Amino acid sequence: MHAKLIFMDISIIVPLYNEAESLPHLYEWIARVMKENKFSYEVIFVNDGSTDDSWKVIKELKDRKEVKELKELKENPVKGICFRRNYGKSAALYCGFKAAQGDVVITMDADLQDSPDEIPELYKMIKEDGYDLVSGWKQKRYDNALTKNLPSKLFNATARRVTGIQLHDMNCGLKAYRLEVVKNIEVFSEMHRYIPYLAKNAGFTKIGEKVVQHRKREFGTSKFGINRFVNGYLDLMTIWFLNKFGKQPMHFFGLVGSLMFFIGFIAVIVVGGMKLYALSHGVQAMLVGVNPYFHIAILMMILGCMLFLAGFLAELIIRNSPSRNDYLIKETL
């Protein structure tokens, strides 16, 4: 259970990779929205190994005179984390979540396609409407319909079916979270696409959606290719499997292995029985050793044993894992 340390209203986490041109515009926009709504805030820029001047720009933003002289804040609102190399968006969000201290955490992309004007309403949905997580829905998009929009719709339809979370755009970068949520989930590999599912698995079930504005990219180019959809499906299967059988791997491997062994064993008996029947009736029959069905049956029995042993070994590993009894406690009395 994590201690709840709240020092400000909002933490805004901006993962970025080669977005030097857009950062000054983005920060000025965020600062204006925060000032208009009298929010105390921090902006955490996570530089994911950029090869341009992104980190230099972040330093310049932090050293601005008007930023340093903000009296209503206990410290400079601009914070930065710089990776030595490119690790990916999940790593950037993980470090941003770890550093966040605001009562509400907002994530947004650095390319100016997410509008900071959405922040007050997102904050309200968390604080007043009681949502644990609110995901943006870019209902009207300005991306290429063939390479992005259509694959995205197919991807989200599959994600809704598998996860049971009825979001139209699960991978939208603009999201709002209760601080407790980001402190109790672990974003790894490329699982940033499924943060709502990670939150649901952690017990945060009040997940909402808000239609948000999608803007055309003003600077640079997209960092994501078509391969993200292939990887996305594989990651979806991974996170589903880990949630379903992560604590009891024998329930999967043991069951499948036992079924395969049983079917193979029955097939061996059938093949042997057919051979004995043929011999008892004086009928010429194929040798058992050259019968392809016999080899398939033996293979199934071997694979069944291997799967069963895999489940058994996985159970032994989990039993000795230091995190085997890590449970998320909502509150105690």
- CA–CA distance, 236 with 316 (Å, rounded to integer): 26
Which pLDDT belongs to residue 261? 92
SS3 for the chain is CCCCCCCEEEEEEEEECCCCCCHHHHHHHHHHHHHHCCCCEEEEEEECCCCCCHHHHHHHHHCCHHHHCCCCCCCCCEEEEECCCCCCHHHHHHHHHHHCCEEEEEECCCCCCECHHHHHHHHHHHHCCCCCEEEEECCCCCCCHHHHHHHHHHHHHHHHHHHCCCCCCCCCCCEEEEHHHHCCCCCCCCHHHHHHHHHHHCCCCCEEEEECCECCCCCCCCCCCCHHHHHHHHHHHHHHHHHHHCCCCHHHHHHHHHHHHHHHHHHHHHHHHHHHHHHHCCCCCCCHHHCHHHHHHHHHHHHHHHHHHHHHHHHHHHHCCCCCCCCCCCCCC
Which pLDDT belongs to residue 214? 80
Residue 3 has pLDDT above 50, yes or no: no
User: Minimum mean pLDDT among 84-98, 105-119, 161-175, 274-288: which range?
Assistant: 274-288
Residue that is written with structure tokens 């902006």 in the block: 43
Fold of 8-245: Spore Coat Polysaccharide Biosynthesis Protein SpsA; Chain A (3.90.550)
Which pLDDT belongs to residue 73? 47
Higher pLDDT, 50 or 238: 50
Higher pLDDT, 133 or 142: 133
Residue 1 has pLDDT above 70, yes or no: no
- CA–CA distance, 19 with 110 (Å, rounded to integer): 7
Higher pLDDT, 140 or 253: 253
What pLDDT, in 10s, does the model give residues 103-119? 999 999 998 989 999 99
State the average pLDDT over residues 23-48. 95
The letter for the amino acid at 67 is: V
Residue 84 has pLDDT above 80, yes or no: yes
Which pLDDT belongs to residue 70? 54
Number of residues that make up the chain: 333
Whether the Cβ atoms of residue 14 and residue 43 lie closer than 8 Å to each other: yes
Confidence of residue 179 (pLDDT cuts 50, 70, 90): very high
Residue 65 has pLDDT above 70, yes or no: no
Confidence of residue 69 (pLDDT cuts 50, 70, 90): low
- CA–CA distance, 208 with 322 (Å, rounded to integer): 34
With pLDDT > 70 as the criterion, what percentage of the chain qualifies?
Answer: 83
User: Minimum mean pLDDT among 15-19, 60-64, 102-106: which range?
Assistant: 60-64
Average confidence score pLDDT of the chain: 84
Whole-prediction pTM: 0.73
User: Minimum mean pLDDT among 103-112, 162-171, 179-188: which range?
Assistant: 162-171
Which pLDDT belongs to residue 315? 80
Cα–Cα–Cα angle for 252, 90, 200, rounded to 5 degrees: 50
With pLDDT > 90 as the criterion, what percentage of the chain qualifies?
Answer: 47
Confidence of residue 19 (pLDDT cuts 50, 70, 90): very high
State the average pLDDT over residues 37-54. 94
Residue 6 has pLDDT above 90, yes or no: no
Mean pLDDT is highest, among 83-87, 118-122, 236-240, 263-267, for 118-122
Residue 26 has pLDDT above 60, yes or no: yes
- Residue 144 CA, chain-centre distance (Å), reads 24
Largest Cα separation within the chain, whole Å, is 102
Residue 2 — φ and ψ, nearest 5°? Answer: -95, 140
Which pLDDT belongs to residue 225? 56
Structure tokens at 94: 């993980």
